[in-house]
Structure 1
Amino acid sequence: MSSIRREAGMTAPGRRSSTFTRLLRHGFIDASGAERLLESPELAPLRNDPVLLEALGATADPDLALRGLVRLLEAQPTPTERRELLDTLIAAKPLRDRLLGVLGCSAALGDHLARHAGDWRALVTYEPRDLHRGVEEFERELARADDPVALRVAYRRCLLSIAARDVCGTIDVVETAAELADLATATLRAAYRIARAAAPEDDALCRLAVIALGKCGGHELNYVSDVDVIFVGEAAEGADEARALKAATRLASRLMRICSETTVEGTIWPVDANLRPEGRNGPLVRSLSSHVAYYQRWAKTWEFQALLKARPVAGDLELGEQYIAALSPLVWQAAARENFVADVQKMRRRVVENIPASEVERELKLGPGGLRDVEFAVQLLQLVHGRTDASLRSGKTLDALQALAAGGYVGRADAAQLDDAYRFLRSMEHHIQLYRLRRTHLVPEDEADLRRLGRSLGLRSDPVAELTREWKRHTSVVRRLHEKLFYRPLLDAVAQLAPGEARLSPEAARERLVALGYADPAAALRHLEALASGVTRKAAIQRTLLPVLLGWFADSADPDAGLLNFRKVSDALGKTPWYLRLLRDEGAAAENLARVLSAGRLAPDLLLRAPEAVALLGNGDGGGLEPRGRAQLEQEILAAVGRAESAEQGVAAARGVRRRELFRTAAADIIGSYGTEAQPAEADQGALVDRVGGAVSELTAATLAGTLRAVVREGWGDTLPIRFAIIGMGRFGGHELGYGSDADVLFVHEPRDGVDEREAAEVAGRVVAEMRRLLQAPSSDPALLIDADLRPEGRNGPLVRTPASYETYYRRWAQVWESQALLRAEPVAGDEELGRRFMELIDPVRYPQGGLKDDAVREIRRLKARMETERLPRGADPKLHTKLGPGGLSDVEWTVQLMQLRHGAVEASLRTTRTREALAAARELGLVSEKDAATLDEAWVLATRVRNAVMLVRGRAGDTFPTEPRELAAVGRYLGYGPGRVGDMLDAYRRTARRARGVVESLFYGAQ
């Protein structure tokens, strides 16, 4: 029970009559007051009529309806007329429902009936033709009004009939808005008639057309709203143009005053001409040619949006149609204007920013999630896509929304939700205004007003709570979908296309493809035909996407490959309902996909093996492109292994996760490097490198952990008879793996109690062999190669050793290069405690007390020089070899590692497996100058990026730049060098490497 009813109950007499109880049951709040009114002489014939109480109880506000009825009966001028009203109420249910319904919703219309006691008869008629009244019918009803006061009375009488059918549900909210617009049209015509009659000399000089804009123009008018218009004037035959325009201006001004001025009967509505060219500062009436010249030269973006709903409504309709025919092409070309989409978006934000903070949450029209959000989203989509699709050119919001859904520009579910929300919010707006017939879009705060509003919308159980819940639900839906549609990145890209490009035609497509740089336009045309032909919804969406995608593919070094890959992905996902919807709706997914598919071979190959990974490119449940952490990856992989029926199935699942995550990392790397409209290229190249290295290394560790679990489960159940740990080495241990890197590892095992060493060694060997077999087995997923060549004795030594065996070897026979290799050792999978003990075992080896002796330093330098001489591939340009060339990865890493070997025992900050971290620590310790450290870091990051780029572009690893021109250009695009700048890229690499080599000569070869 509401607080209002509780208060009413408290003030009621202690002993309540049966009438009082019935009144409460029928929804009255002031039951005592209602009981007194029912005792009035005017209602004596109805006092005991249960039908009357039921009819009153069906209204939005029974108390208001009863008070209005008593006032209406009191206002009847004679007993005979009062009796006629009472008899009609008793006998005619349609009249009873209409009259009481209006009285229960609108105090203002109740006041009108009290002043014009005979107007209730306008509600008697109940014929099929009465259900949907048009302009001509309203014109007939207004025809007798020959002055502004009479026009107001006649207007309210017509409004009364619309409101009656609205509150009774005879017409829905869309029909109500259309009838209100038709009534406004008829009223403008009547006002023009009165204005002409008052100034026949002006009428003789000119032709004047009244063009409705906004809600009136779109047949979507509110009960109380400004009526936006534009006036177009021309000279009558033989009249002087200047005099004619002055006469037309006087007529237009008189028409506006007739509608807008307040009289004893109030006002109708303001006629607002401020949307005309130059606004308030411009002439009220212009000639058609003046209008056209203005919109061609000076009009702003919002002015074209305002014309979207323009239609002739009064005056010289032939001139009005000429106006529409002249300006309509300009409206549908407006989206091609520079910054058009951004301007419309900015205007919408400015409207929200100007709402007082105290009102923004109650603002039904202008606030976030309000009616304007629906209208702006629909209008923006219309203006962008309507250039080439005439089916979208409707002035009615919901008709346009339906056309957008039918054409594939908006998802059908999204369109249905927006339609539902718009209807509900418009119904709220209508009934809020209907109460006092005042122009407002604020949801009331008073509980009685909210109760009346909720009941008027059919919410009867708990009107206030139900209304609030439904209002917030619809507002939330509108806000979400407005953000999704209105700020869709694809919109701006479509708007920037030339009008002929917005839809592909075979004739124009070949020329455009050649101009965009497609090497094989004939093949490209075949792909386009396969993707976009037909009348299916899928083809319609493709026709929207492809013109934009073609431009994005063309920004790459190989547009043909991008388009081919897009066709392959589209074919693979052709029957998947979310795929094209994702590209059309979900953030920057389409542009992300275009960049990824045209950047080289690796990412498309990974994607085509499991095309559903396209979902990662959006902003939805796929998690986006942010790399997943080790714990999350391992949890997923171990769960998959646990569900598998065999080790083969378990490792296949682990490799599937690895393939998906490699794609996620590669896609993020490409987009971070190339940039998109929504996400510019990342400035910190070191961060990109670290992200790739960390993500691939964490993924490799999780894959090994899952593979180990699968092998152990199948061979030994829950418990392995040994402890077993995997130690990452090289780039793996350093969290610096590339896309095509092997996993350098050491294997450590230890027998559990009761297991002899020979059996333990056999078990460990079987585990390693099975892991390697399963990870390298033929599959659609990329293999993971395990390289254990950094173990003691290299390829000639046992694959797996115990901690004691490792300790013995390192103490007696370890060479300096093996100590250096251990600098990057880190446990990655298996028994954590065993891994920790292994690290304690090797710390004295890799961080020797007292640092390195001179002969050890000389040995390291000798090994480095020998490696540069012997391992560099024959014919390779040393200056462009990213690993072994001067200033390459080897130079930087060996220089840093030499500092770690010398000082790591004393300086804890140097004890890291990561190259860049160790270099930063050396800089902080003063072992290398800030400038030299920056030079080495820059060279290492660049060389790593080149290697990553080569793998992304070619689909296979490489340590030097490609020689094939397109591949080389693609590497250049990845590194930030546009078309024609391959030479600049190579020069920049040589320059960076040369500077780094100078630092290496000083620190590595010259240091004592």
Structure 2
Amino acid sequence: MSLQTLLSQHQPYLPRTLQSLAESVCRQLEEKLSADDLAVFADDRFAGSVLKVCCCSEFVRDSWLRNPGLLSDLVTSGDLFSADRGGAYRQHLLDNPADAEAMLARQLRQFRRREMVRIAWRDLAGWANLNETLVDLTALAEACIQTALDFFYQQACKRWGTPTLSNGEPFNIVVLGMGKLGAWELNYSSDIDLIFAYAEDGLLSEKKEISYGEFFTRICRSLIKMLDETTVDGFVFRTDVRLRPFGDSGPLIMTFDGMENYYLTQAREWERYAMIKARQVAGDFDTGKQLAALIKPFVYRRYLDYGAFEELRSLKFQIMQELKRKDRLDNVKLGPGGIREVEFIGQAFQLIRGGREPALQQREIQVVLGVLRELNLMRADDVANLKFAYRFLRRVENHIQQYQDRQTHDLPQQAPVQQILAYSLDFADWDNFKQELDRVRGSVQAVFDEVFSLSEQDSRQHAARQVWTGADEERSLENLAGYGFADPQAVYNALRDFKICSPIKRMTRKGAGVLDRLMPLLIERVPCVENRDITLNRILALFEAVAGRNVYLSLLAENPDALTQLITLAAASPWICEYLAEYPILFDELLDPRSLFEPLKKDDLRQDLRRELDRTDGNDGEQLMIALRQFKHQNVLRVAAADIMGVLPVMIVSDYLTWIAEVILEQVLERAWRILTDKHGCPPNGQIDTAGGFAIIAFGKFGGIELGYASDLDLVFLYDCADGNAMTNGDKPINSGQFYLRLGQKIRHILDTKMLSGVLYECDLRLRPNGDSGLLVTHIKQYENYLREQAWTWEHQALVRGRFVAGDPALKTEYEAIRGRILALPRDLAELKRQVREMREKMREHLDNSAAGTFDLKQSKGGIADIEFIVQFGVLAETAHNPALATYTDNVRLLEGLAAQGFIDADDAALLKKAYIGYRDYGHHQVLQGESATASDAEFKEMRARVDEIWRAFME
């Protein structure tokens, strides 16, 4: 069996774009590895991880190919599978001492490569969590630093003697680890920032006179060279000592007294920020305690230091300007919403309050964020978002660096490497990964902008005017960042392009003056919504569309409340502005909420639609379809506006959306009937102006009077005629069965034909007898026979929500009688329960595609579908005893009926009703935001658990 075949058995999923890479990896391994080396593939854990790890890390792959025994050693020793290896690093180096500098250099580099391969392997294989990876990397650096320091200290003592404190005790230097090394958060290919200090000055004169300062400086130089120098075996850790007092111009090492004097008299504010994470990582830990005590007052002031906010904001802007000049906004560490911003947020509170709140005197940012929540200094949801974002971004950072063991924080630009990064993080493709990354970074920046926001209204207005004039790009970008825009450069560019677009350039001087008053207001007020970048772009597109009609812009400039209302609507839905641009008459209604936020009732809708359609050419099907779509868009927009502004509760929103669909279907049926009868005449039981013998039955959300903004229509077409072969009475007669079939086809064509204005409604007809393989229209007698003799239990469940919505009133009566009889059929309750439960489990298995940490409002456990299935089970079980249960089709009233019947406890029914309405309300607003009907795991947590408990009580 080839290695590729062996590995493919252990690799259930590999993106198509990486297949050739995987094949190349297999070929290289087969060429390089001996039979003994290949023996490690007998371990299923190892074999199952090889392709993913080797595809995602050139560094690991190349290290293995250079040293085929490397992985054999890691596997056979068990180190590859151990989560506790980090604690043994130091002992391993002590057990294998080096007796020469060259030997130490080789030993440390080979040891570092072995352990870096192990750490990357465990991370990419999904065996190690983030904390394990960061701690192992930090422990590895510490072990190497301490080992090298011990070696050079001993060598120096042999040559010059041993330095001692004033009390006669020998002592060594203190090595401070800064940044992520100090916080036990070292990233994969990070350099290490070190500061060196020693307790006391003195003179060694036993063998050859040398000051303590020179003695320790020589040790530090040798230590840096040992760690940083690249040899044939690579390097140990890139080492940076520029964070020391006075930077590059300062001495390499200072005494404690010199350090204290510097930090008290000359250190800059950013050095306080840097010192938050400082921790001794090697050297003399006895004297190190003294140094820590000296530094602490510099970092943590005894008073509330709000000046740190401005300093940190200034530092942040400096970094952002540098990134913009270097076109490095894709930097996951320093870019917008990156790792640095999460750290800035936590460390700002530490600098301001750390002296008064000892609990904030921590190094690890995740711990700091938890303390901020406990002290009620930040909202729990903001802390949760930041923690999630930090862990996500740190994994991204590590995986970027594990690819080639390069110290980079930039997202890859080449498509193949992008796919590798996405795959390493368990995303299907780059677009899915990038979408999640953008969401995560946006959530970080939103919190950052709130923490560092300007409070003075005058400053905000001045900043907004400055942004609109755009004279000073750098300052404009700073102001946009201050307003919380996720991508200030993109917003700046959008405003610049807007000002020079043709419709704006063609504006009159008066119109331009209106725009100059309006735009600063817009820039200042858009940050009141979370998705401010998107919202601004939507409104700019709207303003461009209506630029020729200055009156609308004047209304907004003179009425800031209307502008705020527009911003709220634009933020809530991607199509609000599009439709306002398409139907500017609705623009006026921003100033008159009585019309915008009071959608029409069903009778008024029916009159309006009939009036609109009567204006069209009855023989022009395209005009008909355009008019129907315009009617739908206008009225759904009214409902959405009322919904967004909180005027309508979710139950009423669904009522209005359902009424719109019903009124449209009534007219679609009537107009389709006219088109066919004009051509073929009527069946024997029909009239020219009335659709006789035909009915449209709604199922699902439509049948349950629970339509949402993105709902399709589940429909079944029924007809009734005594003789299907009877001919119509027109010039081109066809038999009645064929007539009703064509009527169904015409209705479907009007509903789901895609036009420039979209489809009217997506139409799902699979609930008809025999599904897609069945006839498009079904005779009413055959329908009852099918439901009684052939239908599955799930089709009876669907019938619970089956409702007549348009057609012949006589068929409505007949259909409702059939529905009542089928729902009231006697059933074996145990068998019914089994079938309903199995169908629900099958649905969840196939339809719940929610990602980890998300809750699919419909399909996840404790969601909408569980509630619906409980109701459907109850109706099928109880209608035989209480025919009144067949009266309604909506879940809320059915729950009330089941509670009245005693099938379900009244409190449980109330809970299910509350959950059902809550889920639907949340889902409505997700659609308006252009999002899927999912929520975070934390959302509805208790409610979901209670729904699931009720489900299990009934069904298990």
TM-score (norm 2): 0.46
TM-score (norm 1): 0.43
